[in-house]
Amino acid sequence: MDKFPEIDVDGEEIQGDFLAREKELMGDEFSTEHDEAITEFESKFPEVNDEADDDVAESQQVPPVTRDSEEVTQSINGVKSLNLDDSEPIKEWRQRRDLEIEEREKANAKKKEDIRKKAEQTIDDFYSNYNEKKEKHAKEVVDEQTKFTEKGATFLSRGTLWDRVDELIKEVGEVPSEGRDKTRFKEVLTKLKGKENVPGAGGYTK
């Protein structure tokens, strides 16, 4: 084994040399339709190596956008200083809101005033009616007292005592007798009417 060391031979190189020698000997007869198709494909689509791919990728990359720091600062300050309160739609919205609030407050104030006036009117009417009724009742009492006094004076001034008793009996009418029959007693009193000479006809005098 040591006298005949192994020889490292590349199989692809040997095959390549063999094909090359066969092609030189046979010429065009060695080529096939398959070889022509491969040759045409390689001519249309050449092999692209990794370096070419890297160049294309680098050329297609978007260059980074660089902005001056002062410009960026100005943009930020511009956003911060943007005041939406100065915009026309915001102003119109605030005006409408303020107007609605003002109208609502006026309506509430009017409603409260109407309720207050109505309550005052109700109280005034109550006391007015109360005072009128009180005065009317007091006047009626005075009138009744006056009539009663006048009637009493007139009643006592006419006829005899028994005449007035008979008048009272008729005016009062029937009264509960509690089981006693007072018919006879009433007949006696009625008979005394108009008689001035009977006892007590002139009344009692001090």
Tell me the mean pLDDT in the region 178-183: 65
Residues 6 or more apart in contact with residue 196 via CB below 8 angstroms: 160, 202
SS3 199: coil
Residue extents of the structural domains in the chain: 159-205
Q: How far is CA 54 from CA 5, 61, 154, in A?
A: 45, 11, 146
- Please tell me whether the overall predicted TM-score, pTM, comes out greater than 0.75 for this model: no
- What letter does residue 178 receive in the DSSP assignment? T
Q: What are the φ and ψ backbone dihedral angles of 76, each rounded to 5 degrees?
A: -65, -45
In this predicted model, what pLDDT tens digit does every residue of 110-159 receive, in sequence order? 999 999 999 999 999 999 999 999 999 999 999 999 988 887 777 666 66
Q: How far is CA 45 from CA 40, 41, 59, 71, in A?
A: 9, 6, 21, 48
Residue 39 tokens, joined: 């040759």
| Residue 169 pLDDT | 74
Question: Would you say 30 and 23 are in contact if contact means Cβ atoms under 8 Å apart?
Answer: yes
In this predicted model, what pLDDT tens digit does every residue of 1-32 receive, in sequence order? 455 555 554 555 555 565 566 666 655 554 55
- Give DSSP secondary structure letters for 22-52: HHHHHGGGG--HHHHHHHHHHHHS----HHH
| Residue 119 pLDDT | 95
